[in-house]
Copies of this chain bind each other. A is one copy, B any other.
Amino acid sequence: MSEPTVVTVGAGMFADAVAGQAVDVERVDWRPPMPGTEADLAAVAVDPRRPGANRRAVEAVLGVTAHLVDVAPASEVLGLEPGQFLHAGPPIGWDRASGPLRGALMGGAALEGLVDDPEDAVALFESGSSVSLEPCHHRSAVGPMAGVVTPSMWMWVLEDRASGRRTYCSLNEGLGKVLRYGAYGPEVLTRLRWMGDVLGPLLQAATRSVVAESGPVDVTGILTQMLQMGDEAHNRNRAGTLMLLRDLAPAMVGSGADAGFDGKDVAESMRFIGGNDHFFLNLAMPACKLALDAGRDIPGSTMVVAMARNGTDFGIQVSGTGDEWFTGPAQVADGLFLGDYGPDDANADIGDSAITETAGIGGFAMATAPAIVRLVGGSVPDALATTRRMHEITLAENPRWSVPVLEFQGTPTGIDVTRVCRTGILPQINTGMAGRVAGVGQVGAGLVTPPAEIFPQALAALARAARQTSAGRSL
């Protein structure tokens, strides 16, 4: 005879009392589904494709190893032409763009020499005649915060060696007054020009030398180590940055000289990387995108393959619904502010960096990075609880990304639209906060979720597809 098991919903004291009598108690945090989703949940639940499709989607994502194979200008590897600008999040025009995105576009226009003074770029973008905006995601790229990419910017090139697929991300500029937070002052442009003239070419030489001598750098493997070193790889990338520096520094010494850079350039580049704990974020992000892209376009799959914000809209894409974006208003994060800044100074959520949470790290792995609460707010128990809660809305645990303090449990991976709608639990993102006004830069960091309504939207599209397929079968 098996032991009795008691399932209790809500009645905590009853559960305690039963547990005190040595009976196994399954505590279920049951909540009603999101309003209006019952019929769509039912339609998707009976879609016979769903279990297999989600299994294939998750296996595809978990099977990808991201390798750093090159560093090269966006003009070369993304085919970006003068006047073409990439940005974070779902599609948006200048008219609806927020302050930080506008600021980054203005700085980008000056960097490319389209205008001398960034302020003059306002007219350029308002006219829209010689410039165009496009999401990073539409060119296999991701960009943190404003995510603006211009043709002359140098990009990390990551590759899934099994399939040859590649993803891309710009080089990280550091914190404070930086383009991705919407700042565009002279110091921002000077730094970007140095990155274009020295850092980018030097990293290209070093990366190519490492690839030739010992093979490409295993970025997914660095992420494995980071998660054992207090990084969650969204707002803490300290250990990742140090491991990247470890892997590239010896080659920077040798190949830097070959590429015509002197010891001063090499030492300055090492200081720049080592002095910016977020440097590795721009490798973590395309590594996550590379994995998630493997799970795209699987009919019937309810797995989220991208979460991204442009500072105005928060958008998600789902495996079973192709390239469609489901969007709603981006929220303002709740968190901690730099200096005298406060909530009124913060722009709404912005950036492609929520690709980390989509892949199961970042906010989803906060349990492994409790020190992050000093940056983004909240308490250590909150951080542990967040990771546990994200397991309720995800399809799998990632065995390569484990959380030591949770006894090496894999990170919660593969957000399931149906689970989000059924539980009302929203994905937890931790994020930097940009100032609302173009030119300000970073004002803080905090915690944020997507707008709830985009999940029922996505569910409705999945349900429509399920009903159509079902109707097709019964013809």
Chain A residues in the interface with B (C-beta under 8 A): 16, 20, 225, 228-231, 238-239, 242-243, 245-247, 249-251, 253-254, 257, 263-264, 266-268, 270-271, 274, 370-371, 373, 379-381, 384, 404-408
A405 touching B370 by the CB < 8 A rule? yes
Interface class of chain A by DSSP? helix
B268 touching A263 by the CB < 8 A rule? no
Give the chain B neighbours of A250 by CB distance below 8 A: 266-268, 270-271, 274
A238 touching B229 by the CB < 8 A rule? yes
Task: Write the nearest CB–CB distance from A403 to chain B, whole angstroms.
Answer: 9
Closest to A408 in B: B380
Give the chain B neighbours of A379 by CB distance below 8 A: 407
Give the chain B neighbours of A225 by CB distance below 8 A: 238
B242 touching A270 by the CB < 8 A rule? no
**What are 22 residue pairs bridging A and B, where the CB atoms are less than 8 Å apart in the complex?**
A228-B230, A230-B230, A230-B239, A238-B239, A239-B242, A242-B242, A242-B246, A245-B245, A245-B249, A246-B274, A250-B266, A250-B270, A250-B274, A253-B253, A253-B263, A253-B266, A254-B267, A370-B405, A371-B404, A380-B404, A380-B405, A405-B405
Closest to A264 in B: B254
Give the chain B neighbours of A371 by CB distance below 8 A: 228, 404
Q: 7 shortest A-B CB distances, which residue pairs?
A: A242-B242, A370-B404, A246-B274, A250-B267, A371-B404, A228-B371, A229-B230
Given A371-B404, A405-B370, A405-B405, the answer on whether A267 and B251 have CB atoms closer than 8 Å is yes
Query: Which of A271, A381, A404, A408 neighbours the largest number of chain B CB atoms within 10 Å of its CB?
Result: A404
Task: Write the nearest CB–CB distance from A59 to chain B, whole angstroms.
Answer: 26
> A381 vs B245: C-alpha distance in the bound complex, in angstroms?
33
Give the chain B neighbours of A20 by CB distance below 8 A: 16
Task: Write the nearest CB–CB distance from A347 to chain B, whole angstroms.
Answer: 29
> A253 vs B261: C-alpha distance in the bound complex, in angstroms?
12
Closest to A16 in B: B20
Give the chain B neighbours of A270 by CB distance below 8 A: 246, 249-250, 253
